[in-house]
Amino acid sequence: MTDTAHPAVYQRIAANLLQQLDSGHYAPGSRLPSVRALAAEHDVNVLTALAAYRHLEQQQRVVARPRAGYFAALQPHPAPGSGQASPLPAAAALVDLKSRMSTLLQLGDERIRWQLHMAEASPTLYPSAELARRLQSTLTRQPGLIGAHLPGDIQRRLCHGLQRIASERGLSLPADGILPCHGITEGISLALRYLTRPGDTVAVETPVYFGLLQTLQGLGLKALEIPCTPDSGLSLEALEFALRHGPAVKCLVCVPHFQNPTGALMPDEHKKRLLQLASQYGLTLIEDDVFGDLYYGSERPTPMKAWDRHDQVIYCASFTKSYAPSLRLGWVAAGRHHAALAQLQASSTLTVSPLLQAVLADVLDSGDYQRTSARIRQQLASQMHATADAVMRHFPKGTRIRKPQGGMLLWVECPPQSDTTALLQAALADGISFAPGMAFSAEPRFGHCLRINCGQPFTPALEAAITTLGQRLATQLLQAR
Ligand SMILES: Cc1ncc(COP(=O)(O)O)c(C=O)c1O
């Protein structure tokens, strides 16, 4: 073996790399030089360079990723003499799909003053006092709800309310074809569990909501990432190419309205064309409309399901973003698959809390949902404009954004040399978090992008945090020159 043939040489290269890892020259999780580049740098053959990497891999200081190369290890070792590992979460752990969601949740650490990493509006935007009164009055009128095991009548009443909401969106659905569920997350999981078997391939947008990648991974499914741009969403050309030439695809999960993370809104013409493609290739579409009610314009975008003549769309919606995150209530309209999904739900979570279903039914009957979601979306629109303008004022030249027309997420494309995973690590020390681009693909893509949550009221203090981010990025770019 070469590494025994040139022990001194590969060990010297490994020691040199180790020094660069310890000094922070390579941030945890960042990409390391290719084997070829390392060989050229030290004027050795590629096998010797490879031996140096293998040596560091054994020490768990670097990780090899198939077809992507070598990366600095995710868990940084404590600096010699420092005693303990960094008390703040390591941004690099976001690169690992298995720990991505839990690492992002850890960024909810109270020492991080500006938490801009999740897709959530500030708690002050939600109707806390109003909902507390509603809960109280629902229970006062129906104390038996506490002892209710299965929802029966309650669910029927809720589904009639949901049917009305659906018809305002242009969907004509039978009330008994609607299934309340635990957030949209459960609706999408049920659909995926029903439509696929482990090992199957599911098409998704890229960049994509990391929660979906984690769901797919949990079900043993492969994600086929189809490009999605802030301008018009999913690339239908790329999808058609993949359907024609790629592996068999069981279904597509897409977010046509204010996609996470790009904020893209799919034009109606694309929705109709996507339905045609689905017919042509026998593809089931799982439509995730979690942000649809948070439109900034005068009209709500119409779900793809409204043009679904051949029952190809499983439509999933939720109240977690547009009304009350903590209710964790969503719903799914699965057409001919309804009974199968209901059965799967019965065998896993049984049903959604009858108490919460009753409260939501009251909320829908009273018109509170329409009033509250209208107020939330107006506030989000003004926060989005102010935050996006601040990013353009304070981020380095070459930064690009496209202001979304709804939702709460701003996708920022920083200059190409940017490393937003390293930027996050630096920003955490300043008490600021955001979601780095690397979190939005299973492949090492979007390393120069980041997603900012615009759910917080815009204040001078928030502008100062954005200024700090911009300055940190400018410094990083200067150092990379
Ligand atoms: C695109 C997308 N789908 C689904 C979810 C989860 O929705 P829910 O809270 O209704 O489960 C999120 C949450 O951020 C999301 O961004």
DSSP character string of 338-401? HHHHHHHHHHHT----HHHHHHHHHHHHHTHHHHHHHHHHHHHHHHHHHHHHHHHHHSPTT-EE
Sites in the chain below the pLDDT cut of 50? 1-6, 76-85
- Convert the pLDDT of each residue in 29-79 to its tens digit: 788 999 999 999 999 998 899 888 888 887 778 877 767 788 887 654 444
Place of tokens 């959604």: 352
- Indicate if ligand 1 lies below 6 Å from the C-beta of 320: yes
Give the per-residue pLDDT at 93: 67
- Convert the pLDDT of each residue in 13-25 to its tens digit: 998 898 888 777 8
One-character DSSP codes across 282-295? T-EEEEE-TTTT-B
Q: How far is the CA of 435 from the centre of ligand 1 (A)?
A: 15
Give the per-residue pLDDT at 47: 87
Give the per-residue pLDDT at 95: 64
Q: How far is the CA of 184 from the centre of ligand 1 (A)?
A: 6
Distance CA 214, CA 228 (A): 19
Give the atom of ligand 1 at the shortest distance from the alpha carbon of 330: 10
Q: How far is the CA of 261 from the centre of ligand 1 (A)?
A: 11
Give the per-residue pLDDT at 2: 39
3-class DSSP state of 29:
coil
CA dist list (Å): 209 to 108, 185, 225, 438: 18, 11, 11, 11
Give the per-residue pLDDT at 88: 65
**Which of 1.10.10.10, 3.30.1360.30, 3.10.150.10, 1.10.1660.10 is the CATH number of 2-72?**
1.10.10.10
Give the per-residue pLDDT at 173: 98
Place of tokens 């597509």: 252
- Indicate if ligand 1 lies below 6 Å from the C-beta of 266: no
- Indicate if ligand 1 lies below 6 Å from the C-beta of 196: no
- Closest by Cα among 213, 166, 171 to 435: 213
- Indicate if ligand 1 lies below 6 Å from the C-beta of 255: yes
Q: How far is the CA of 210 from the centre of ligand 1 (A)?
A: 10
410 is written with which tokens?
């701003």
- Closest by Cα among 249, 202, 193 to 222: 202
- Indicate if ligand 1 lies below 6 Å from the C-beta of 476: no
Give the per-residue pLDDT at 474: 97
- Indicate if ligand 1 lies below 6 Å from the C-beta of 209: yes
- For 92, how many CA atoms within 13 A lie in the half-sphere containing its CB? 19
- Indicate if ligand 1 lies below 6 Å from the C-beta of 330: yes
- Ligand 1 probe mutation, 117, 189, 288, most atoms within 8 A of CB: 288
Question: What CATH topology corresponds to 91-125+376-480?
Answer: Aspartate Aminotransferase, domain 1 (3.90.1150)
Give the per-residue pLDDT at 77: 41
19 is written with which tokens?
């020094």
Distance CA 202, CA 248 (A): 9
142-371 has which CATH code?
3.40.640.10
Burial of 86 (C-beta count, 10 Å sphere; 0-12/13-18/19+): middle
Alpha helices in 43-83 (DSSP H): 46-58
- Indicate if ligand 1 lies below 6 Å from the C-beta of 318: yes
Phi, psi of 161 (to 5 degrees): -60, -45
**Domain-by-domain residue ranges, the chain?**
2-72, 91-125+376-480, 142-371
| 384-388-389 Cα angle (round to 5) | 120
Distance CA 214, CA 218 (A): 6
- Indicate if ligand 1 lies below 6 Å from the C-beta of 184: yes
Q: Which residues on neighbouring strands pair with residue 449, listed in sequence order?
A: 413
Q: How far is the CA of 80 from the centre of ligand 1 (A)?
A: 41
Give the per-residue pLDDT at 75: 55
